[in-house]
Structure 1
Amino acid sequence: MAFDVAVIGAVGIDTNVYLSDSKVNLSVETSFGENLDCIGQAGGYACQGFERLGYRVCFVGYVGEDFSGKYIRQILTELGIDTSLLMIDPLGTKRSVNLMYINGGRKNFYDGKGAMNLCPNIEDIRSHLSGTKLAHVNIVNWTRFLLKPLKEEGLILSVDIQDVTDSDDPYRKDFIEEADVLFFSSTNFADPYHLIKKYLEIRGDRIVVCGMGKRGCAIGSNKGIEHFDPVELEEPVVDANGAGDSLAVGFLSSHYFEGYSIEDAILRGQIAARYCCTKKGTSSELITSEHLDRLFKQINTSRKQDQ
């Protein structure tokens, strides 16, 4: 069976701890806040994001034979996401705890379980995904072994290297070299443009997208590098978890599946990301195709009138 997109990588349960202050008071034992659980991590947000937009999605990843793993498998299956390649991690389901500060800051505590040592059956995955157009890959260690086989199978490879800290990071080297579309966050860089240039020097025939939060985003291609201002919606920002994944989903689906130009596709990705930020502690209420189309038309028309 051919899919529109395969999301390959990390899924688990996120526990988001919403604090009532801009810092944790370590002098007391108990702090009061709001604690919410959801299916999260990069793959969890991305596969649900593509599904909400109406695409045929296969998720490739690992969960444990535990309560969290069974819950994730059940929910993804009920959504219509193919879980034939949702395999078993003997160390359990990944967990992530996010401390969400009232000023918008976040500290993440990630437990990847057995991710560094897992070895997927490459030929089974390759066969199951034959005919699929696009693979969106998270940088879990075992996914690097699938990069070349999936390219040989003809899939477009999109990779999110997330909050990169070093342009020469050896862990990310394979992913950077193989990606047809490369996403990264500017969290650790005041000026990410030199990174975009470097990634284009490695491969000049690809697209590089940098999410810059409140500063918008930047995109590099063989046409050069362009900056895009942030998108504003009426609803306030309450939770930035999944925003980068939504940016990728909105851009990839618009450009590769619907034929939008790079410029229009990045706007649609920004809208999806900004909408995600209006949802607190959930990955199940991401933007739908109809809502994205409506907001895109409104914002695009408004921007043209202002020019």
Structure 2
Amino acid sequence: MRVIVSGLINIETTLKVREFPINYYPIDYPFFGIKSDVSGVAYNVGKALLALENDIQITSFIGEDEEGKRILSKLENEKIGNQFIYHELEETPVTVALYDEEGRRQIYCDLKDIQEKNMDFTRLEAAIKDSDLVVLCNINFNRSLLKKVKKIGKLIASDVHVLSDIDDEYNKEFLEYADILFLSDEQLPCSAEQFIFEMKEKYLSKIIVIGLGKKGVLLYERSDDTIYRLEAAHVGDVVNTIGAGDALFSCFINYYMKGYSAVEALTRAEIFAALKIRCNGAANGFSSEDIVEKYYKNSEVVVRKVTCIHKEG
């Protein structure tokens, strides 16, 4: 499968903290608890899809600085092309992610001037036309691509991450254009079941998935107008949940686009994400299809239909 992934690439530093909230102390020594590496949604998704043996192209913006050089070196080492990486930022974006032993996380994302950029469709047109799927992350420079990608008939997948309003102004265009839409339950204003019902009534996505963390996922499939609840997959101890959502999203589109049913694809995606969070770092711990299938054969992920939803409020 050929996939274009357009979104953020940054340098991410992760820090393991004792607990949340963090008490003040002038210095701490979290031995082997600090790690810095290349990350960002576009890189995470691209690397996950590459691990699942897909042909990928990543497009993003970076700066002409040491962080940018580090990203280019990493892409070269991973055998990921950089022809669509544009050196047009004043500085390369960086993030700091705090996490604890319970899997909770707090992320500080310094986007620099990337939100002021706009991706020129003509730069990507040939590659997009040659792709099977276009992943457009919810960042400003992708807004200009949404309508044009849809117009030429390519499927769009997007993860809007945290959503607290079905009419969220920042994410509205991504909600309207995404054929495959993912989000988290972290800041929903109502139950996830009620929210996914309202989402499927308002927007036209073929697939909507809400990640529920330890509680699993909710899936809406428009082809049979059904909402499913899948319990979480468990494959080992959790080290760091940062990047779990990117892993879930990536593995789902891998299997779904290869012809698996939405439920089968999402079950495998849960296993893929569960394997990933045994490792530290958002872009680490991605498994091959062979490993996913090995765990899938012994999987006991419970799937049930959500049969009745009552309007809340």
TM-score, scaled relative to structure 2 = 0.90
Change (3 A) 1:19 1:205: closer
Could you tell which deviates more after superposition, 281-290 or 118-127? Answer: 281-290
Q: Give the whole-Å Cα distance in 2 for the aligned partners of 1:106 and 1:261.
A: 32
Say how many residue pairs are matched. 298
Q: Give the whole-Å Cα distance in 1 for the aligned partners of 2:217 and 2:205.
A: 20
Match of 1:210 in 2: 210
Match of 1:268 in 2: 268
1:12 correspondence with 2:14: no
Distance apart, 1:109 and its partner CA: 0.6
Q: Give the whole-Å Cα distance in 2 for the aligned partners of 1:137 and 1:77.
A: 22
The one-letter amino acid of 2:15's match is V
Deviation by residue 1:117-147 (Cα, 9 ceiling, x = unmatched): 1022211112232220101121111111111
Q: Between the two proteins, what is the percent identity of the paired residues?
A: 23
Change (3 A) 1:21 1:200: closer
Q: 2:178, 2:205 within 8 Å by CA — same for their partners in 1?
A: no
Deviation by residue 1:200-219 (Cα, 9 ceiling, x = unmatched): 12334511011110010000
1:228 correspondence with 2:230: yes
1:244 correspondence with 2:245: yes
Q: Give the whole-Å Cα distance in 2 for the aligned partners of 1:245 and 1:174.
A: 20
Q: Give the whole-Å Cα distance in 1 for the aligned partners of 2:79 and 2:199.
A: 35
- Structure 1 counterpart SS, 2:299: helix
Q: Give the whole-Å Cα distance in 1 for the aligned partners of 2:81 and 2:151.
A: 22
Match of 1:129 in 2: 128
Deviation by residue 1:228-255 (Cα, 9 ceiling, x = unmatched): 000011x201101110011011111101
Distance apart, 1:24 and its partner CA: 1.8
Match of 1:178 in 2: 177
Q: Give the whole-Å Cα distance in 2 for the aligned partners of 1:36 and 1:277.
A: 15
Deviation by residue 1:131-185 (Cα, 9 ceiling, x = unmatched): 2010112111111111111122332100100011222111111000000010000
Query: Which contiguous aligned blocks of 4+ residues in structure 1 show a shift greater than 3 angstroms?
Result: none
What runs of 5+ residues in structure 1 fail to find an aligned partner?
none
Q: 2:9, 2:41 within 8 Å by CA — same for their partners in 1?
A: yes
Match of 1:285 in 2: 285
- Structure 1 counterpart SS, 2:166: coil
What runs of 5+ residues in structure 2 fail to find an aligned partner?
304-313
Q: Give the whole-Å Cα distance in 1 for the aligned partners of 2:27 and 2:82.
A: 40
TM-score, scaled relative to structure 1 = 0.92
Q: Give the whole-Å Cα distance in 2 for the aligned partners of 1:285 and 1:68.
A: 22
